[in-house]
Amino acid sequence: MPANTKGDPVPLLKDLIACASVTPAQEGVLDRLETALAALGFAVTRLTFEGDGSYPVGNLFATRGSGGKRLLFAGHTDVVPPGNPDDWTSPPFVPTLRDGRLYGRGAADMKSGVAAFVAAVEAAIADGSADNGTIALAITNDEEADAINGTEKLMAWADAQGHRFDFAIVGEPSATATVGDSIKIGRRGSLNGQIAVTGAQGHVAYPDKANNPLPVVAAIVTALSATPIDAGTEHFPRSNLEVTSIDVGNQTTNVIPARGTIRFNIRFNDLWTPETLGAWIAERIASVDAHGCQVEFSVVGRPSNSFLSPLGGGVEALGAVIEAATGSRPQLSTAGGTSDARFLARYCPVVEFGLPGPSMHKADENVLVRDVEELSVLYARFISAWFGSGKV
């Protein structure tokens, strides 16, 4: 790890930002992380997964200690493309300190979380609390794009190797305004669907010789959108369907098209699975008179299941640590899209706990240095509390 004050996350964060690790390119980012972890006594394994219609991806798994409670930290080192460099005040992969902020692609999402946790472990080693349990890191370089050869396969590999975890933290941006004001204890699921309605093409002057699919398309869109899916649950808002595209591919006004395609996304709560949602969609389609058209529904890609972590155990301990440090209990949130936490939830309770992220994916992405430092301190305090070696 670069020479620094023990527990200082900024030097490593600068090193990570300097790597132009746009998915799936590593550009040395996992090398730098491995060097930092090896210096802290971690056993580091590098794995590359490939196939399943996606590109090869580099991943890192590291462990330190044995026995006691087992804490997993997960995150990603890949970043989205920076876009036009001219939109940046400073080069996106040149970490730049300015007015108390550190600028660079990945500063918020989520190289700051990775650096803060590594610094927290360094601090926990210094005070002895890290030696009272087992700490592991699962880091992928493919969260921002396909997410096929990353965390999902890395966790399956770790499970097959006999690694078990009692609690996991994902360092994604989770705060709304200040560090610790919100942690994510669950996420909605996501399902992408497509409905193709096929009629018969013909001349608009001879409608009796054709079968226009578009009235059926319109009726199906209405049936999908007009019916609430549910009313929400205690920890989740109501499930929501958004029609995102209606495509006909017709370039003329005197031809009845043969086909219309509806595309939509459903963000769903813990009342549903992709299978039960599929049945709900089929019922909505069946409620529409197809007028002789052929209607085909298909799921596009792989749906993501919703999850909700138990509210005791690690969630309660983390909330107590944050409250003791900030004076306020964090909001328990399930808002937002999907994240790699959905893969970890299969193996242990998991929360997302990171920085505020208003600048993520934007030009001039940045974080307040004091926020990164505060996050690292909170991680270190949680390590101590979780391993039963210190007060919150």
Catalytic residues: 78, 143
Q: How far apart are the first and last CA of the chain?
A: 27
- Residue 198, Cβ neighbours under 10 Å: how many? 18
Give CA–CA dist 50/57, Å, rounded. Answer: 6
Separation between Cα atoms, residue 149 and residue 169, nearest integer Å: 20
Residue 45: Cβ within 10 Å count:
15
- Residue 68 to residue 132: CA distance in whole angstroms: 6
SS3 226: helix
Nearest to 182 by CA among 388, 52, 336: 336
DSSP string, 131-176: GGSEEEEEEES-SSS--SSSHHHHHHHHHHTT---SEEEE-S--BS
Please name the residues in contact with 306: beta carbons below 8 A apart, sequence gap of 6 or more: 186, 187, 188, 189, 236, 268, 269, 270, 272
How would you classify the pairing of strands 307-308 and 240-247? unpaired
Look up residue 273 and give its two tokens: 């699975």
| Residue 42: other Cβ atoms inside 10 A | 22
Closest CA to 224 of 272, 293, 290, 286: 286
